[in-house]
């Protein structure tokens, strides 16, 4: 299993990265890092970035919402 699949299963309720990418309707994931460990922050940021790149490659306009990344 690749790292993005592992992270997806660890920090979301989705069974796979593909399931998150192809979620119905206008769904886009929301990610928050406040209060998370440094390791969890790195994982969440990596997943949000991977989601954005994959959606762009698919021609989908949806992007991950980054709630408190500033």
Q: Would you place residue 1 in the very low, low, confident or very high pLDDT band (cuts 50, 70, 90)? A: low
Q: Average pLDDT, whole number, for the chain? A: 95
Q: pLDDT grade, residue 69 (50/70/90)?
A: confident
pTM of the model: 0.92
Structure tokens at 38: 């440094």
* 8 A C-beta contact, residue 31 and residue 66: yes
């Amino acid at each position: 299993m690749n790292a993005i699949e592992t992270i997806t299963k660890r920090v979301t309720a989705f069974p796979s990265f593909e399931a998150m990418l192809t979620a119905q309707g206008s769904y886009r994931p929301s990610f928050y890092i406040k209060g998370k460990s440094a390791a969890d922050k790195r994982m969440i940021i990596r997943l949000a970035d991977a989601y954005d790149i994959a959606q762009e490659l698919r021609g989908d306009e949806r992007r991950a919402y980054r709630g408190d990344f500033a």
